[in-house]
Amino acid sequence: MSVLRATRPALRRPTESESRMALESSRRLGAVVADLDQPGEDGSGQGGAEVVVQVKGQGASESLTIPLSALTLLRMILEEMAQGNAITITPVHAELTTQEGADLLHVSRPFLIKLLEGGEIPYRTVGRHRRVRFDDLMAYKQHTDVARAKVLDELVSQAQELDMGY
């Protein structure tokens, strides 16, 4: 049994020329994805597309069939790069360190540890180190986003009842 391990490249923002290239690519890919996302005659989406990959300056090309979900993800990546944002991809089942989890939630590591030890987010211990599943972090984030939106709606409602002008 072989194990596939991917090494992550150093996280960096795209260069100006990479951003321009990503903008044009995302625009062109967006049109293709929109066409593919339309239901076929049988009522289902097409599910994928054959893509030809050719490297400039080399005669050889490779034809690949890529799922629609992967093309959509590629378009999203290109859109973020076009805006000058660095991109990372994390599998849903990945386990993160507490620092990676804190960075993902935009909180401090000590705050995340309090959440873990308080039972708000599940985790496991590997030796002396805590590991948090990406999907558990996303579930927590979604829960807090919903709660935050609910409180904001209540504040807006109260402000309107009190005729505060906004």
Show the tokens assigned to 34: 């929109």
pLDDT of residue 1: 39
**CA 58, chain centre distance (Å):** 33
Q: Is the domain covering 95-161 a CATH 1.10.1660 domain?
A: yes
**Cα–Cα dist 114/121, whole Å:** 10
Average pLDDT score over residue span 58-75: 84
Compute the mean pLDDT over every residue in the chain, rounded to the nearest whole number. Answer: 85
pLDDT digit string (tens) for 104-122? 999 999 999 999 999 999 9
The listed range with the strongest mean pLDDT (9-18, 34-43, 130-139, 152-161) is 130-139
Q: Three-state secondary structure along 13-56?
A: CCCHHHHHHHHHHHHHHHHHHHHHCCCCCCCCCCCEEEEEEECC
> H-type helices in the chain, by residue range?
16-36, 68-82, 98-105, 109-117, 134-161
- The pLDDT, as a whole number, for residue 54 is 77
* Spatial separation of the C-alpha atoms in residues 58 and 37, rounded to whole Å: 32
The pTM of the full predicted model, rounded to 2 decimals, is 0.61
Domain ranges across the chain: 16-82, 95-161
| Comparison of pLDDT for 48 and 8, the residue scoring more | 48
CB proximity list for 109: less than 8 A, separation 6 or greater = 98, 99, 102
pLDDT above 50 (res 58): yes
pLDDT value of position 7: 47
**Chain Cα centroid distance, residue 110:** 24
